[in-house]
């Protein structure tokens, strides 16, 4: 019998913790502020930005939204980031990706001050994650680690398989599992014998972006299965894991929706709080 890892419950616990700390900072005269930049009209991005704004408001974090036109130039965007880098009331800066094609994403990521980079995409923060000495972790892998910790799932010595090697999910996910002493394999589209590799996993994380990609025959009896995937199929949200059949073999499993998704915003709030504390030299 599997146990469902409930992202709604765990993200609520994280948010309560953040809310309490934000209030304590406020009593000391310290505000916590997040600036979110969105360029263009991508509907999914608009939903994400709106959710981030609502989460900030609920936790007492000041949120500033900068909705820029699709035609915004690189210079205009970099100039806004420069202003926000210097703005004391803003502790965290997030630029919603993807950006319109004419803008250089790498240059934009690199322009955000590392200490305000609450997405943890800046090369300095990426390097720190690699070294295992970091303040910010990309929100989605951070959310997965929070879920494992909440459920008391041991990582040390476990065989961990991450399917996906993107900079925002797969790679940092693998690093975090490694830092907790998991024995980690990263799989991707060129991996041979993917099924056999996955069958060895005590902890299997799917971040592929393909609906129902992980099937029961790929999963070891008693494995912990984490589904990062969010795929829209006929208006429905479907994970990367075929939940209906994989749950029969898993010891723990995350649902989609209501699994890793809600954790991502909660960890963004956590990173914004961390930024405010660091910038104000509060432990
Ligand atoms: P990317 O498309 O950047 O990466 C997908 C990875 O999956 C790549 O490394 C790719 O390999 C690998 N892959 C693709 N096909 C196969 C295959 N047939 N066999 C093995 N590996 C394969 O996606 P992201 O990492 O950005 O996102 C992954 C999923 O997570 C998506 O569904 C996304 O929507 C979701 N997501 C969810 C979030 C949340 O909050 N829950 C946040 C961010 C993402 P290769 O490198 O060789 O191409």
Give CB contacts under 8 A, 24+ apart, made by 126-129: 126/167, 126/172, 129/172, 129/175, 129/176
Tens digit of each residue's pLDDT (9 = 90 or more) over 226-246: 999 999 999 999 999 999 999
CB distance 184 to ligand 1 below 6 Å: no
What are the start-end ranges of the H helices in the chain?
7-27, 43-59, 74-86, 105-111, 123-131, 139-150, 170-179, 194-199, 243-246, 260-279
Superfamily for 139-260? NAD(P)-binding Rossmann-like Domain (3.40.50.720)
Q: Which tops the pLDDT comparison, 105 or 44?
A: 105
Tens digit of each residue's pLDDT (9 = 90 or more) over 55-92: 999 999 999 999 999 999 999 999 999 999 999 999 99
CB atoms under 10 Å from CB of 209, counted, come to 14
Q: Is the pLDDT of residue 1 over 90?
A: no
pLDDT, position 72: 98
CB distance 97 to ligand 1 below 6 Å: no
Tens digit of each residue's pLDDT (9 = 90 or more) over 88-137: 999 999 999 999 999 999 999 999 999 999 999 999 999 999 999 999 99
Is CATH 3.30.70.20 correct for 29-113? no
CB distance 100 to ligand 1 below 6 Å: no
Residues 6+ apart with CB under 8 A from 53: 36, 63, 65
What mean pLDDT is reported for the chain? 97
Q: How far is CA 124 from CA 80, 130, 227, 236, in A?
A: 21, 10, 28, 37
Instruction: Sort strands 183-187 and 231-233 into parallel, antiparallel or unpaired.
Output: unpaired
Domain ranges (residues) in the chain: 29-113, 139-260
Report the predicted TM-score, pTM, of the whole model to 2 decimal places.
0.97
Mean pLDDT of 153-177: 98
Residue nearest (by alpha carbon) to ligand 1 atom 39 = 261
Mean pLDDT of 135-160: 98
User: What DSSP string runs through 9-58?
Assistant: HHHHHHHHHHHHHHHHHHHTT---EEEEEEES--HHHHHHHHHHHHHHHH
pLDDT, position 60: 98
Does this chain's domain 29-113 share its CATH topology with 139-260?
yes
Query: How many whole angstroms from 188 Cα to the centroid of ligand 1?
Result: 9
Query: How many whole angstroms from 76 Cα to the centroid of ligand 1?
Result: 31
CB distance 90 to ligand 1 below 6 Å: no
Mean pLDDT of 258-283: 97
pLDDT, position 136: 96
Residues annotated as catalytic (active site), given as ranges:
52, 96, 119
Query: How many whole angstroms from 259 Cα to the centroid of ligand 1?
Result: 16
Q: How far is CA 41 from CA 47, 74, 89, 106, 108, in A?
A: 10, 17, 27, 20, 18
CB distance 164 to ligand 1 below 6 Å: yes
pLDDT, position 61: 98
Tens digit of each residue's pLDDT (9 = 90 or more) over 177-215: 999 999 999 999 999 999 999 999 999 999 999 999 999
Residues 70 and 100: their CA atoms lie apart, in Å, by 7
Query: How many whole angstroms from 54 Cα to the centroid of ligand 1?
Result: 27
């Amino acid at each position: 019998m599997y146990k469902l890892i409930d992202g709604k419950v765990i993200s609520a616990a994280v948010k309560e913790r953040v809310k309490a700390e934000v209030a304590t900072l406020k009593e000391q005269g310290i505000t916590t502020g997040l600036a979110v930049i969105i360029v263009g009209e991508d509907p999914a991005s608009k939903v994400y930005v709106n959710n981030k704004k609502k989460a900030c408001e609920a936790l007492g974090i000041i949120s500033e939204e900068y909705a820029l036109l699709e035609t915004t130039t690189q210079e205009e965007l970099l100039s806004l980031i420069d202003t926000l880098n210097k703005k004391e009331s803003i502790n965290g800066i997030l630029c919603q990706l993807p950006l319109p094609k004419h803008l250089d994403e790498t240059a934009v990521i690199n322009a955000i001050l590392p200490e305000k980079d609450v997405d943890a995409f800046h090369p300095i923060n990426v390097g720190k994650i690699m070294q295992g000495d970091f303040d910010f972790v990309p929100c989605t892998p951070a959310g997965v680690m929070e879920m494992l910790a909440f459920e008391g799932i041991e990582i040390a010595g476990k065989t961990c398989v991450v399917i996906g090697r993107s900079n925002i999910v797969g790679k940092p996910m693998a690093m975090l599992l490694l830092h907790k002493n998991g024995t980690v394999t990263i799989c991707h589209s060129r991996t041979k014998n993917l099924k056999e590799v996955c069958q060895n996993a005590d902890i299997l994380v799917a971040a592929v972006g393909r609906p129902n990609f992980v099937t029961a025959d790929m999963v070891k009896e008693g494995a912990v299965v984490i589904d990062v995937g969010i795929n829209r199929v006929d208006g429905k949200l479907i994970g990367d894991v075929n939940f209906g059949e994989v749950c029969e073999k898993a010891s723990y499993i995350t649902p989609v929706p209501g699994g890793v998704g809600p954790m991502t915003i909660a960890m963004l709030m956590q990173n914004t709080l961390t930024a405010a504390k660091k910038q104000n030299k509060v432990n």
